[in-house]
Structure 1
Amino acid sequence: MVEFTEPEMKISAQEMAEARLPLRYRDYCAHLLVPLNKCRHRSMYLPWKCEPERHEYEKCQYEEFMNRSSMLAKIKKEKAEASN
């Protein structure tokens, strides 16, 4: 059986609420979204001003997606093997 280890949240629910993050963005990359949103607000959402922060956040989102995808593939493989 595949053991799922949940990643550690690096920001608390209270900190996310104080940063006014919508619920759909309160994931394992939220700790990177808070500084990105602050930078966006300071720079009036100019797309070229917060590139390092945006890159970090998007990289985290991609890695998290890849982790979930590989976990799902492992689970499906185990189910297929178990049914045979």
Structure 2
Amino acid sequence: MGGHGHSPEAAPQKNQDLKALSDHRVPVAFRDNCAHLLVKLNSCRRETFFDPGQCTHQRHIYEECEYIAWLDRTEQKKKMASA
């Protein structure tokens, strides 16, 4: 079966621009390693009046980033448990 590679766009970033997140009114609870993508997604949503058929690419990239970040966290937890 064919595999799915991760998009380079979806890479989590540890250093987020906190001023930009504040300017775009991103809630503190969502300011994680993928918040830079949430800014783009929410901007697209506002521009298209939250049309569910729009912004699918941005939503996919954001969700993929969250999945990659989750995989990283679970791998770190496994390493801590085995140490």
Q: What TM-score does the superposition give when structure 1 sets the normalisation length?
A: 0.80
Residue 30 (str. 1) matches residue 42 (str. 2): no
Segments of 5+ residues of structure 2 without an aligned counterpart are 1-12
1:42 maps to which of 6, 24, 47: 47
Aligned-pair identity in percent equals 34
TM-score (norm 2): 0.81
TM-aligned CA deviation for residue 8 of structure 1: 2.7
Larger radius of gyration: 1
Which residue number in structure 2 is paired with residue 8 of structure 1?
14
Once the two structures are superposed, what CA deviation does each residue of 1:24-76 show, in whole Å capped at 9, x if it has no partner? Answer: 01011011000100100111111120000000000000000000001001100
> Which letter maps to 2:82?
K
